[in-house]
Amino acid sequence: MTDKPLRRALSNPEAVGRLTLWAIELGEFDIKYHPRASIKGQVVADFIAEFTRDEDKGAEESPQWSIYTDGSSNRRAMGAGIVLLSPEGDRIECMVHLDFPTTNNEAKYEAVVAGLDLAKAAGAESVIIYYDSQVVTNHVNGDYECKGERLRRYLDQVRARINDLEAKVIQIPREENELVDRLAKTASADHMITPGNVLSFVQLSPLIDPGNMQEICSESNWTTPIISYLKNGLLPDGKDAARKLKVQAASFIFIKDILYKRGFSRPYLRFLGAEEANYVMREVHEGICGNHSGSRSLVHKIIQAGYYWPTMQKDVESYVKSCDKCQRFSNIIRQPTEELTPMTAPWPFAQWGLDIMGPFPTAVRQLKFLVVGIDYFTKWVVAEALATITKKNIKSFV
């Protein structure tokens, strides 16, 4: 009971009597009356303070991800290493083998982009990138001017991802980036060995190139109308063009959005685009099981592996001729060179050349050999079929 109702109760004699009676009754239980002030203002103040504190706390303690990244390049291969740390302390390690020629700074930009893409895939919204590269850090923060068309294109890709993730880049000493540096050097080896619990990828083309997405038949080429016909039944205008397309499509089949080449005595061969064909040639020729075979043998191995593209014979010959290790260490003819000795004939039928060919499939009278004579001057040919090769038969022919 507050003070105002109490004063109103004391002005009424009946109320005083009831209060006295209640005081006697409640006195047995050691219950006493103490006046108190109004609590409405304090309740409102506590409510506002409580919920304002929660909002400020949520704004200050938003989940923050950390990315440690580095790129490595040498004369033969390039790689990138990424370590992603979640707000709960979970760690994700990743290696990316850059299977294309690039510079050291471009490899470092590839590492930053790979780290940002990995963080976005993990669901991060706010990221801090720790990098030991002074050039890349100052480029992204705007302290250095980026020179070179390719580096500016890389910088645009990085800034676009940073704006999406609310990320910032902080330069750290090289000593604090040893784990990522070790991953990058491992990824830049000729044959990348992936440690346990480490993600690994192979990137076939630069990020800034239009064809960096490796999809079979994704570009518009001669297979596009074939795919449209096999997938949707679309035919070009004109009776002759439609008939020609049907004849071409008979040699292909489309299974689960992948184009395959049919064959009479072999399984379906997967059709490859330009980038994937180059990668398959390199792996079969000089990969972990490659033996730097010749062009004809390399074509047979690629077909046995289940791949096909129209210009494979021409591409394989060009690739084998440009292989540095084949030019350095392949078997060569060690016989010393000498001038050619021409074979001349002064007049017709002065000099003849004889040779025996066979055995051929058996013909009438069991004939299966062939004796041939050629005049060196006129290139006139005389041939005779024989059943057996004997001294008498050859003498008779001459």
At residue 148, does pLDDT exceed 80? no
What size, in residues, is the chain? 398
pLDDT confidence bin for 50, thresholds 50/70/90: low
Measured CA to CA, the distance from residue 124 to residue 101 in angstroms comes to 31
Q: What is the pLDDT of residue 59?
A: 46
Among candidate residues 123, 196, 207, the one with its CA nearest the CA of residue 165: 123
- Mean pLDDT, residues 241-264 taken together: 83
Q: What is the pLDDT of residue 47?
A: 65
At residue 304, does pLDDT exceed 50? yes
| Domains in the chain with CATH codes | 3-59 (no CATH), 65-203 (3.30.420.10), 224-329 (1.10.340.70), 352-397 (no CATH)
- Mean pLDDT, residues 48-53 taken together: 60
Measured CA to CA, the distance from residue 220 to residue 154 in angstroms comes to 26
Q: Which residues of 214-234 are buried (b: 16+ CB within 10 A; e: fewer)?
A: eebbeeeeebebbbbbbeeee
For the chain, the three-class secondary structure string (H helix, E strand, C coil) is CCHHHHHHHHCCHHHHHHHHHHHHHHHCCCCCCCCCCCCHHHHHHHHHHHHHHHHHHHHHCCCCEEEEEEEEECCCCEEEEEEEECCCCCEEEEEEEECCCCCHHHHHHHHHHHHHHHHHHCCCCCEEEEECCHHHHHHHHCCCCCCCHHHHHHHHHHHHHHHHHCEEEEECCHHHHHHHHHHHHHHCCCCCCCCCCCEEEEECCCCCCCCCCCCCCCCCCCCHHHHHHHHHCCCCCCHHHHHHHHHHHCCEEEECCEEEECCCCCCCEEECCHHHHHHHHHHHHHCCCCCCCCHHHHHHHHHHHCEECCCHHHHHHHHHHCCHHHHHHCCCCCCCCCCCCCCCCCCCCCCEEEEEECCCCCCHHHCCEEEEEEECCCCCEEEEEECCCCHHHHHHHC
Look up the pTM and report it.
0.41
Please state, rounded to an integer, the average pLDDT across all residues of the chain: 78
Beta strands 127-131 and 65-73 are parallel
Q: What is the pLDDT of residue 9?
A: 52
Task: Look at 373 and 169; give whichever has higher pLDDT.
Answer: 373
pLDDT confidence bin for 38, thresholds 50/70/90: low
Measured CA to CA, the distance from residue 66 to residue 86 in angstroms comes to 7
Task: Look at 289 and 277; give whichever has higher pLDDT.
Answer: 277
Q: What is the pLDDT of residue 51?
A: 59
Task: Look at 55 and 287; give whichever has higher pLDDT.
Answer: 287
Q: How many C-beta atoms surround the C-beta of residue 3 within 10 A? A: 11
What sign for the dihedral angle of Cα 132, 133, 136, 141?
Answer: positive
- Partner residues linked to 355 by β-bridges: 372
Measured CA to CA, the distance from residue 235 to residue 223 in angstroms comes to 13
Beta strands 127-131 and 167-171 are parallel
